[in-house]
């Protein structure tokens, strides 16, 4: 069964799994939580707790989990999974590639730390991202001034991928306008992310309006080993396909704008 816990900050929802979790449990607990968030116009910061009382999920629970996740993914502002169960920690690490919000796993003994982390997340992401496992491409949508927490979330997703892969095929930055950084911490977070990951990315695409073309050399200078190319803002699919493809020949690589 699933239980809603009340010992949490007002902006955090806590759900605890006990015994065997069924599809009916999702309908009784998770679906109302999501509908309440939609009705109230708020985003969800979820602590999912699986302690020693948890036993298993039924197949119907897995199906309900998938349906809820696909329908409400953009509502989530952060997710903390508190468990010592190895397979669940690994499943969370893999699933985090597809979730456009910060996701962290905590030990059962670190539950208080997980609550503090969720409560401290700033409202509204400047960056949402998703890793496409089949193409090995990270797509980053930039809408608001960039925060240090945005780069922490990006780093966690990329690091989880690099735990089991040698490199990332590409990063696609999708931005109509470049909004800058929220503060100096956001700028430093950007610098740290590039410093720690630029040697593991083969291609970088900037899908943006033409007025952002001046940023292409800036990206090229940071990702010194990556091929860098610009695409129109509406050319996101083309940018992803290019980033997922094999290395370009010398004659058609470089940091100039796409011919399209």
CATH number at residue 109: 3.40.50.10600
For 77, 223, 253, the CA distances from 250, given in Å and listed in that order, are: 42, 17, 5
Asked if 31 and 111 sit in the same domain, the reply is yes
Q: Which of 120, 148, 181 is the last residue of a domain?
A: 120
pLDDT digits (tens, 9 = 90+) for 53-102: 888 888 776 656 656 665 667 678 888 999 999 988 888 877 776 676 77
Q: Would 259 be classed as within a structural domain?
A: no
- Supply the pLDDT for residue 31: 86
pLDDT category at 35 given cuts 50, 70, 90 is confident
Asked if 111 and 224 sit in the same domain, the reply is no
- Separation between Cα atoms, residue 106 and residue 260, nearest integer Å: 46
| pTM for the whole structure | 0.56
Residue 226, domain extent: 127-252
Q: Residue 26: phi, psi to the nearest 5?
A: -65, -45
* Count, residues in the chain: 260
Residue with tokens 């456009």: 100
Asked if 166 and 240 sit in the same domain, the reply is yes
Q: What's the number of domains the chain is made of?
A: 2
Most confident of 116-120, 121-125, 246-250: 116-120
The mean per-residue pLDDT over the stretch 155-161 comes to 83
- DSSP-derived secondary structure for the chain: -EEEE--S-TT-EEEEEEEEE-HHHIIIIIHHHHHHHHHHT--EEEEEEEEEEEEEE-HHHHHHHHHHHHHHGGGEEEEEEEE--HHHHHHHHHHGGG-SS-EEEE-GGGHHHHHHHHHHSPSS-SEEEEEETTTTEEEEEE-S-B-HHHHHHHHHHHHHHHTT-S-EEEEEEEESS---BSSHHHHHHHHHHHHHHGGGEEEEEEEE-GGGTTHHHHHHHHSTTSEEEEE-TT-HHHHHHHHHSPPPPGGG-SSSBP--
Nearest to 158 by CA among 126, 188, 123, 195: 195
Q: Would 260 be classed as within a structural domain?
A: no
- Separation between Cα atoms, residue 118 and residue 107, nearest integer Å: 15
The mean per-residue pLDDT over the stretch 172-201 comes to 80
CATH number at residue 151: 3.30.750
Asked if 87 and 166 sit in the same domain, the reply is no
Asked if 111 and 144 sit in the same domain, the reply is no
Asked if 51 and 142 sit in the same domain, the reply is no
Asked if 134 and 169 sit in the same domain, the reply is yes
Residue with tokens 């796409």: 258
């Amino acid at each position: 069964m699933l239980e809603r816990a009340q010992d949490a900050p007002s902006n955090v929802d806590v759900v605890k799994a006990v015994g065997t979790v069924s599809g009916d449990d999702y309908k009784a607990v998770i679906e109302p939580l999501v509908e309440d968030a939609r009705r109230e116009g708020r985003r969800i910061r979820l602590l999912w707790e699986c302690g020693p009382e948890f036993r298993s999920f039924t197949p119907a629970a897995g199906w309900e989990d998938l349906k809820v996740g696909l329908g409400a993914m953009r509502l989530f502002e952060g997710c903390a999974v508190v468990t010592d169960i190895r397979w669940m920690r690994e499943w969370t690490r893999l699933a985090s590639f597809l979730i456009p919000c910060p996701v962290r796993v905590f030990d059962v003994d670190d539950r208080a730390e997980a609550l503090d982390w969720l409560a401290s997340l700033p409202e509204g992401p400047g960056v949402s991202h998703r890793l496409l496992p089949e193409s090995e491409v990270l797509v980053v949508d930039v809408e608001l001034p960039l925060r240090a927490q945005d780069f922490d979330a990006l780093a966690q997703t990329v690091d989880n991928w690099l735990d089991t892969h040698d490199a990332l095929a590409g990063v696609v930055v999708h931005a109509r306008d470049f909004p800058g950084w929220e503060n100096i911490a956001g700028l430093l977070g950007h610098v740290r992310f590039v410093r720690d990951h630029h040697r593991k990315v083969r291609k970088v695409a900037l899908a943006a309006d033409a007025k952002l073309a001046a940023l292409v050399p800036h990206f090229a200078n940071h990702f010194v080993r990556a091929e860098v190319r610009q695409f129109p803002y509406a050319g996101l699919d083309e940018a992803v396909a290019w980033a997922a493809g094999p290395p370009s020949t010398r004659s058609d690589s470089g940091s100039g704008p796409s011919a399209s």
